[in-house]
Structure 1
């Protein structure tokens, strides 16, 4: 019985460590560090108090590490975090992105995004650039799951610019709770890559549109002029080498730049966000 419990505990520790590492890169290490406090916490009476204390200990260690320890360490790897709270008209579309340390980029990419946000705000006062996934703080080649190429601080996803559908007023909110999966579908007669990729057997291409709730989609309208301004401003920067956007949106929005590429059916659809990357 004791052996079975020990095996179960080891399995749970390994599972939690792997899951946190996949989602946040550093969470697994921080979780293992929090285990050092367990001998003291286990002195508390009541399993609920012990469980709560262990969770609180991990959260405290994680927040301190995320805000104070990881940024200066990541700088040694040539990466800096995008702001956790809005700064320079740039903010996370979903707070989880920043809290999970998925917001690290090369310093030059950060400057480019800040500049684009400043130009957007000059043209449309009060506008914000919402960022989505970037890269983890450490190690080139460490993949930011589930992305295929976010592994070196040179790639960044941005959300579209939205208006509230009822008030027609600009909003910094997004229709999806994860920032992805609320797509601007091809219209009849437009280039329909989601259908093409599906017919070729690439089941993952439109997967997010099926598993992410679409209930809030009707509350938002893509503001094309603002979104187009962001894309064109980024495309004008010589350091930006690629922008991923669905072909039907490039044509529909009349965006003229050869930096917009089709990302391939092996990826996921890009009519719910913009992917930008700088030169290596």
Structure 2
């Protein structure tokens, strides 16, 4: 399980077990050793090793940072240098256009090996893909938070008259398509409002960037936000999950 969710956790746990047995450490000391070893590896060793595999860690602070620090704790914030360059550039531009605005990323990739799956994603396995959070504004005026802890599962559903792929996919038997709504708690309690202007601007900046290959959002949002001119903004298919809660982007 540690290997599945962090890529390196299983190996570190195995090394901890061997060390604890050799030095006859009790369970509490063994767990403490694992925690220290994991943190040192994740925040000191992995960032230095990842470039060998064509990956680099996304920043923790600045105009581009994780919505949830757990993303970095689980080593899911690694991408190719090209994708990092693109997103830092776009996040800086977003901050210029909307003073104080921070672009939040969600899941990227693990630090090592193309083809290693990033569960539950279908395609985040080569460093070229990254999910980004929508922008929200709170009633108190703050602009850099979101109603969902993980950034997924708070849907902007189709309105009457808009194409409804969530319903179409559900009718075709794709039970997983909207499953996140069953697990994600909306912490906003009506205090958050989707910031359409900032979210639409972010999507446009990415769509117009020379490095962008594809962007996935739900077709009803592409229609609603008048983004039909961008051919690289596409529907991800029913085999994936809904994309009216986040933006998926990838580089060539």
TM-score normalised by the shorter chain: which range applies? Answer: over 0.9
Q: Which residue of 1 aligns with 2:215?
A: 243
Map residues 86-125 of structure 1 onto 2, 5 A cutoff.
Answer: 86-87=61-62, 89-125=63-99
Residues in 1 aligned to 2:232 and 2:197: alpha-carbon distance in whole angstroms: 19
Q: Which residue of 2 aligns with 1:20?
A: 2
Q: CA deviation at 1:41?
A: 6.2
| RMSD, aligned α-carbons | 1.3
Q: CA deviation at 1:260?
A: 0.6
Residues in 2 aligned to 1:266 and 1:217: alpha-carbon distance in whole angstroms: 31
- Structure 1: tracts of 5 or more residues without a match: 1-18, 44-49
Residue 35 of structure 1 pairs with residue 35 of structure 2: no
Richer in helix (by share):
1
Q: Which residue of 2 aligns with 1:207?
A: 179
* Structure with max Cα Rg: 1
Which residue of 48, 62, 75 maps to 2:51? 75
Residues in 1 aligned to 2:248 and 2:12: alpha-carbon distance in whole angstroms: 30
Matched length: 251
Q: Which residue of 2 aligns with 1:172?
A: 144
Structure 1 length as normaliser, TM-score?
Answer: 0.86
Structure 2 length as normaliser, TM-score?
Answer: 0.96
Residues in 1 aligned to 2:218 and 2:87: alpha-carbon distance in whole angstroms: 21
Residues in 2 aligned to 1:175 and 1:55: alpha-carbon distance in whole angstroms: 33
Residues in 2 aligned to 1:31 and 1:217: alpha-carbon distance in whole angstroms: 39
Whether contact under 8 Å (1:243, 1:259) holds in the other structure is yes
Task: Give deviations 1:97-139, integer Å, cap 9, x for gaps.
Answer: 1110000000010000001001101010110010000110000
Residues in 2 aligned to 1:105 and 1:133: alpha-carbon distance in whole angstroms: 10
Map residues 1-280 of structure 1 onto 2, 5 A cutoff.
Answer: 19-39=1-21, 42-43=24-25, 50-83=26-59, 85-87=60-62, 89-164=63-138, 166-167=139-140, 169-216=141-188, 218-255=190-227, 256-279=229-252
- Structure 2: tracts of 5 or more residues without a match: none
